[in-house]
Amino acid sequence: MEKIVINKEACVGCGMCVHQNPDYLVFDENGHAEAIDKEIKPEDKKSILESIEICPTEAICIVEEK
C-alpha cells in the first residue's frame, strides 16, 4: 500500500500540494502540509507525483507500507 509522507522539517507551507491534492493532504496547526493517512488510489497517483515534482523543498515522498 502506497502512502504520502511529508518531511515536516523541510516543508515551508507553500500549499501547492494541499490545493492540488485535498483528498490526501491538509494543513496542520502550524500551516505545514500533513498527509491524511490513506492509501493512494491509482487514478490519483499522477497528481501526487506532480506535487512531489513541484514541491520547492522536496518535502513530499511516497512510501510503500505493508
CATH of the domain at 41: 3.30.70.20
Half-sphere exposure of 42 (CA within 13 A, CB side): 0
The 3-state DSSP class for residue 55 equals coil
Half-sphere exposure of 23 (CA within 13 A, CB side): 10
In the predicted structure, residue 24 carries a pLDDT above the cut 80? yes
In the predicted structure, residue 65 carries a pLDDT above the cut 90? no
pLDDT at 1 (0 to 100): 92
CA distance 54 to 8: 16
**Average pLDDT for 34-61:** 96
Kindly indicate the confidence band of residue 42, based on its pLDDT and cuts at 50, 70 and 90: very high
Tally of structural domains, the chain:
1
